[in-house]
Amino acid sequence: MSETTESEEIPVFTDGSPDLVEQLDDLKSLGELKIETPEPEKVTKGDSEKKEEPEVAQIAREESLKSDSTSINGSESNLVQSQRTSLPSLSGILSTFSGRGDFWSTSSTSPQVEKSSEDGSDYLGQRRNLSLVAKIATRALIDPCLEKSIIIEENYPPLVQFLAVLEEVLLHGWKQKISMFNRNKSFWAVFDHKQMESAVPELKETNKTVKDLPGIKSGLGRARAFLRLALMQKKLPDYLDALQASEASFRGEFWEDWALLRHDEAPEIFGHMQGLSIVEANLDLKGVNLDGQVGVIDFSLVAAVTDASSNANTNQLEKENRRLLDQKSFLEERNRQLEDRLKLRTDKLDVTDETKNNLESELKAAKIMIENLQEELNSVKIGAESDSKALNESFAVQKTGFKAKTDELTGEISDFEKRYSVLENQVKLETQERLELEKMLENEIKNKQQLELGIRMLERDAYEKQDTLEQLQKQLEDTRSINQRLFDEVREKNDRERERLRKLEESKQAISALRSENENIFTEHEKLKIQEADASDMKLRLESEIDDLKVQVLKYESDLNQETDRRKIAENEAKAAKMVAENLLKKTEHEGSKTLVSSLEAELAELKATVGDLESALTDMAAQLENAQLDRDDMKDLHESLTGHSWVDEKTVKICAKCTRDFTLKRRKHHCRNCGNVYCGSCSSNSMPLASNPKPVRVCDNCHVLLLARLS
């Protein structure tokens, strides 16, 4: 019986590897290191005494056989020779430790394997020896958990050995010098680093728990507590993988260039430790002294390998088969876990894709809606600009007309003021003469004030007809004839004084009327300025402009009503003035009545001219009022079309909005797509294209008429 074992490098076993199946096959063919509870085997070498061969020695021998590429023959002498060739490898391991079997020597300040005077070849040997011992300790901890379900306690020997070896692996090449008397500086600073916490989010919570543990004073104690806590949480393989995957510059801050964690042996060791996730551990982190505890590697089980017989070889092969079966079970379990994780991530990816598709569809719909709204906004802007331009032109024309009228009235006011100053001087000169007639003049002044009020009302009357003016002229002619008959009885002096007073009062009246008219024109001019300023913001304040137009229309209507009332009042006052004039002329006996009548005729002609101008101005204002009403209606329709109508819920509607007939099974409900109200089929049988929908849609009869008028 012969078997040839080739020297092969053990592949790295990490999560998410694309060659997972190939690695599983390689691991099955190679067979991994395994530590079991030592079972003494009896071997003979001639007639020598019986000795035990521990399982650790067998594992060391197998590794040596693989590295030396030796073949095992079926004969007993070849088996013995192959077993002897394994001794140098195990001796090399033991030579790196002191006689006590500890990992640190009493003759060196470094916890690493003993250095020689040679260069990197010693570090390479140290890394290989540490890698071999780490594999042995890892398998010794995992294999019992594969065979049966057990919960590991604090003092479980394989666990103690594993933690000691892992501590030495992490401290190999550490830049801080550590002796057996000073081991407070630890590798926990690496796992407590922000870069590691950002790579593994769960690490932050683990570090917080370690910091909160009472009774731990040194960094080394916290490092040991961290390893135990991560093992209980089954997160230790993930943390070690994250450390191995970190940047080389980050690891270079803590380890030397020749350290194990900065070479290819680290991925190999951490790959063997992936199986730690199946270990169930219940460790007491408070009841042990982690600060003073010293890790010790117990090699009492490792003894010299003696000659083995053919029976030992057979037992070895059987154990190897069992080990391979156990390894197969472990890898199958690991493969199942990876498949579950892959399935979970695939499901998450499907959900993400579905969410992405939904968001893309919503984004497309939103883009289409934005384009439609942009088109509506552009159309509204164009309409508002055209309306604003028309209003600006109208306001400019009105402004020019009112400005010319204001200039003309200003000139007239200045002339009247000059005349007033002349008459005032004359009045001052004849004040003494007026004293004796003061009582009579007071009565005349009261009558003149009443006449002045009537004339002012006549000036503002924009719709007084020509027959009213003729009637007033006839009344004035009658007054003239009466004055001619009665003024002969009035003294010439009183006549002259009354004439001067009349001219003075008439001048005051004309000036007051012109000032009032000028104030009204100025008020209208200011209003036009305000309207012109508001027109510049027409695009953004359509609704406010409509309200302003409504106010103007109401004002114009109120003015018209007031003018109508004033016209009636003026007619009544004219009649009263006629009666007053008759009474006045009866009392007056002045010879200068002809002069007064001629002056009244001249003033009457001026008043007629003023009334004619006011009539034309009021005619223009009436036309502007009509145009303003039309503009208000157009702006109201435009506002309603822009703002839209609320969509009425058909569940709350029982009758048609137009014919008010009840809805039944035969008379169904239909929404108007323009106003949003609910109508029956006969009241909403028309179709028209809208701004929001170029295709013809159902509209009610009222909206149909409105849309046709707008299109025309």
Shared domain for 111 and 237, answered yes or no, is yes
CA 198/CA 170 separation, integer angstroms: 21
Shared domain for 600 and 703, answered yes or no, is no
Shared domain for 623 and 662, answered yes or no, is no
Residue 547 included in any domain: yes
Q: How much is the pLDDT for 577?
A: 65
- DSSP-based three-state secondary structure for 396: helix
Region of poorest pLDDT, from 161-170, 177-186, 561-570, 582-591:
177-186
In angstroms, the first-to-last Cα distance of the chain is 109
4: which strand partners?
71
Shared domain for 195 and 169, answered yes or no, is yes
CA 261/CA 142 separation, integer angstroms: 22
Mean pLDDT on 666-694:
87
CA 98/CA 294 separation, integer angstroms: 15
CA neighbours closer than 13 Å in the CB half-sphere of residue 292: 4
DSSP of 49-72, one letter per residue?
A: PPB---HHHHHHHHHHHHHHT-EE
Number of domains composing the chain: 3
- DSSP-based three-state secondary structure for 43: strand
- DSSP-based three-state secondary structure for 578: helix
Cβ atoms of 156 and 138 within 8 Å: the answer is no
Q: How much is the pLDDT for 63?
A: 46
Q: Which of 610, 643, 676 is the last residue of a domain?
A: 643
Region of poorest pLDDT, from 56-60, 148-152, 267-271, 519-523:
56-60
Cβ atoms of 223 and 229 within 8 Å: the answer is no
Kindly tell me the burial class for residue 248, based on how many C-beta atoms sit within 10 Å of its own C-beta (0-12, 13-18, 19 or more). exposed
Cβ atoms of 192 and 207 within 8 Å: the answer is yes
Cβ atoms of 445 and 509 within 8 Å: the answer is no
Closest residue by Cα to residue 183 from 158, 217, 226: 217
User: Does the pLDDT at position 61 exceed 60?
Assistant: no
Q: How much is the pLDDT for 67?
A: 40
Tell me the pLDDT of the chain averaged across its residues. 71
538: its two tokens? 């027409």
Q: How much is the pLDDT for 606?
A: 76
CA 462/CA 109 separation, integer angstroms: 120
383: its two tokens? 């309409």
Residue 331 included in any domain: no
Is the C-alpha dihedral spanning 208, 211, 213, 219 positive or negative? positive
Report the range out of 52-66, 472-486, 529-543, 637-651 with the highest average pLDDT. 472-486
Looking up tokens 């008379």 gives: 667
Q: How confident is the model at residue 505 (pLDDT cuts 50, 70, 90)?
A: confident
Residue 541 included in any domain: yes
- Domain hosting 62: range is 3-308
Q: Which of 583, 612, 643 is the last residue of a domain?
A: 643
Residue 271 included in any domain: yes
User: Does the pLDDT at position 17 exceed 50?
Assistant: no
Shared domain for 638 and 654, answered yes or no, is no
Q: How much is the pLDDT for 638?
A: 55
Q: Which of 643, 673, 702 is the last residue of a domain?
A: 643
CA 271/CA 525 separation, integer angstroms: 93
User: Does the pLDDT at position 302 exceed 60?
Assistant: no
Q: Enumerate helices (H) and strands (E) in the chain, giving the number of each.
A: 21, 8
CATH number of the domain that 678 lies in? Answer: 3.30.40.10
Higher pLDDT, 78 or 609: 609
Tens digit of each residue's pLDDT (9 = 90 or more) over 201-246? 899 999 999 888 888 888 888 989 899 999 999 999 999 999 988 8
Closest residue by Cα to residue 376 from 32, 99, 156, 693: 693
CATH number of the domain that 150 lies in? Answer: 1.20.58.900
Q: How confident is the model at residue 416 (pLDDT cuts 50, 70, 90)?
A: confident
Region of poorest pLDDT, from 48-52, 120-124, 281-285, 383-387:
48-52
Mean pLDDT on 586-599:
60
194: its two tokens? 């922000």
Tens digit of each residue's pLDDT (9 = 90 or more) over 162-199? 999 999 999 999 886 554 444 445 788 888 888 898 88
Higher pLDDT, 484 or 168: 168
CA 100/CA 359 separation, integer angstroms: 68
Q: How much is the pLDDT for 659?
A: 92
Region of poorest pLDDT, from 95-104, 336-345, 504-513:
95-104
- Percent over 90 (pLDDT), the chain: 6
How, if at all, do strands 686-689 and 280-281 pair? unpaired
CA 115/CA 96 separation, integer angstroms: 9
CA 61/CA 136 separation, integer angstroms: 12
Tens digit of each residue's pLDDT (9 = 90 or more) over 613-659? 777 777 777 777 777 667 666 666 655 554 556 788 888 889 998 99
CA 410/CA 407 separation, integer angstroms: 5
The answer to whether the predicted template modeling score (pTM) of the entire model surpasses 0.75 is no
Q: How much is the pLDDT for 546?
A: 66
Q: How confident is the model at residue 78 (pLDDT cuts 50, 70, 90)?
A: very low
Residue 337 included in any domain: no
Shared domain for 603 and 566, answered yes or no, is yes
Closest residue by Cα to residue 86 from 45, 49, 58, 128: 58
